[in-house]
Amino acid sequence: MTTDSTPAGAPPDPTRLPGAPTLPEAALHVAGTRRPAAAGATRPVVDPATGHLLMEAPEADAADARAAVAAARAAFDDGPWPRTSVQDRARLLERVADAIERDRDALAWLETLDTGKTLGESRDDMEQIAQVFRYYAAEARTMRGEVNPVPSGAVSLTVHQPVGVVAMITPWNYPLLQASWKIAPALAAGCTFVLKPSELTPLTTLRIVEMLEEAGLPDGVANLVTGAGGTVGAALTEDPRVDLVSFTGGIVTGRAIAATAARNVTRVALELGGKNPNVVLEDADLDLAADHALNAVFFHAGQVCSAGSRLLVHEAAHDALLERLLERTRRIRLGFGWEDGTQMGPVISPEHLAKVEGYVALAQEEGATLRVGGGRPTDPRFAGGTFLEPTVLTGLPHEGRVASEEIFGPVLTVETFRDDDEAHAFASSTRSGLAAGVFSRDAARAMRLAKRLRFGTVWINDFHPYYPEAPWGGFGESGIGRELGREGLAEYQETQHLYWNLEPAGADWFGPQD
């Protein structure tokens, strides 16, 4: 797969591989124009698998962010988009879905270069992203209000208005997927927006805004600023012209955003990840459970908000399940995302690698035993990247920090329980209730446990599937609000009551006195 000029054994320049795509333009998008950051600053964007420079992205500052908000505000207040018919909005969303499907491979390549995930995973992401645009096109076409029962002589209507200007702040693990969960419903609702991708992974977000412009979105509806969270993200969050901040990222940043937004009583929608238990009861199909347990935690090197990083196994099933897991974990092939046969890529950055390694060390300090992995691969091809071997630790204590905090890396911890009540208690030791799994052959027992678990999604005999039609979001500290589904559209809408008196008469209270 390497180019002729790449010395044997050295990591390839990923931008020169056969099939590698052209990069999007490194530009801010403000009011329909593409331009550099006003101060001229840039930031390197790096491939996490090799350390190669991919792009010098514009490094916007707070003034750029405010200019983008002004553009989105003007497009909302005076532009055509909020008043465009739902049929026309739906047609635009469908054109975007067509373009994503047309450019699926190029988009997938960009995502793989930027995030390190395998091309197969990136292609799946792109297919699902196209489906998200199609789903919200359908939602736009079928939007309904309500007629409320008031006395005759009047009409009372509940209608849905776009919420207004949205600041969208997205993370690095699923850059385009997370952005699409916000862009598609926001456009269906008639909103305008300023999008700020993670400074680590702006490539596919830059491309999608180009594609929205090509699809005919009016100027100023979709604005994009690249740059640091602490400056650009904060400037968006504190701007009173923003009506909603929709954020996906970590809990620490989520708290800060909620606090800042509260000053202007700006609405927030927060998806802050989770500590997601995967519970295997003793009557489960252990081959199925092992299969999904691996997928739950090693998919995209565990950098998934719903990663099933915490395996809770009934003590009677522990040894048999662990044997299957360890044997298969040892065979997981690390590699570059664009290479055939790669099953797991790097983590996103040196800082993140250090954080994940810190949790591996902490788990052992808390009393867990390292069973496989835990180190960096020794193959010199991976020296420029941020790879970590798939890791399994057993005997994790239920009450430590590792049992309740998100690791966000290829690290599986295993705990045991004795009965369903204990499984429930251990699974509930976190307030980050995004997703959980239950494996059992007893449908009623699995359903009973699933309903008790305070998590936004509970999968039974599966892990990870999600659909644009079904809501996504968490309980407790995992966030506020829902994405996808009807609920995901409602985040971008205000509910308005329209009351029309058909038989106008004077009000009684302050009318002429006798």
Chain residues binding ligand TXE by CB under 6 A are: 169-173, 196, 198-199, 229-230, 233-234, 237, 248-250, 253, 256-257, 271-273, 305, 355, 406, 408
Least distance to ligand TXE from the beta carbon of 373, Å?
Answer: 19
Cβ–Cβ < 8 Å for 29, 58: no
* Angle in degrees, 0-180, between the axes of helices 175-189 and 104-115, rounded to the nearest 10: 130
509 is written with which tokens? Answer: 């209270």
Position with the least CB separation from ligand TXE:
229
Which residues have CB under 8 Å from 228's CB, separation 6+?
43, 59, 199
How near is the Cβ of 249 to ligand TXE at its closest, in Å?
3
Count other C-beta atoms under 10 Å from residue 442's C-beta: 12
Closest Cα partner for 374 from 417, 325, 348, 413? 413
Compare residues 184 and 356 and give the one whose CB is closer to ligand TXE.
Answer: 356
Q: How far is the CB of 305 from ligand TXE (least distance, A)?
A: 3
User: Which residues, other chains included, contact 346 with Cβ-Cβ below 8 Å and sequence gap of 6+?
Assistant: 48, 49, 116, 301, 353, 382, 385, 386, 387, 388
Under 8 Å between Cβ of 61 and 37: yes
* Minimal distance, residue 400 CB to ligand TXE, in Å: 17
Classify burial at 21, counting beta carbons within 10 Å of its beta carbon; exposed 0-12, middle 13-18, buried 19 or more. Answer: middle
Q: Using the minimum distance from each CB to ligand TXE, give the nearer residue, 153 or 240.
A: 240
CB of 254 to ligand TXE, least distance (A): 7
Decide if 477 is catalytic: no
CB of 303 to ligand TXE, least distance (A): 7
Q: Which is nearer to ligand TXE, 45 or 272 (CB)?
A: 272
Q: Which is nearer to ligand TXE, 222 or 234 (CB)?
A: 234
| Closest CB to ligand TXE among residues 307, 368 | 307
Which amino acid is it at 209? V
How are the residues of the chain apportioned to helix, strand and coil, as percentages rounded to the nearest 5? 40, 20, 40
Rounded distance, CA 307 to CA 15, Å? Answer: 30
Cβ distance to ligand TXE smaller for residue 373 or 409 = 409
Dist CA 250 CA 196 (whole Å): 15
Active site residue 271: yes
Which position among 305, 406, 415, 483 bears the catalytic label? 305
Residues annotated as catalytic are 271, 305
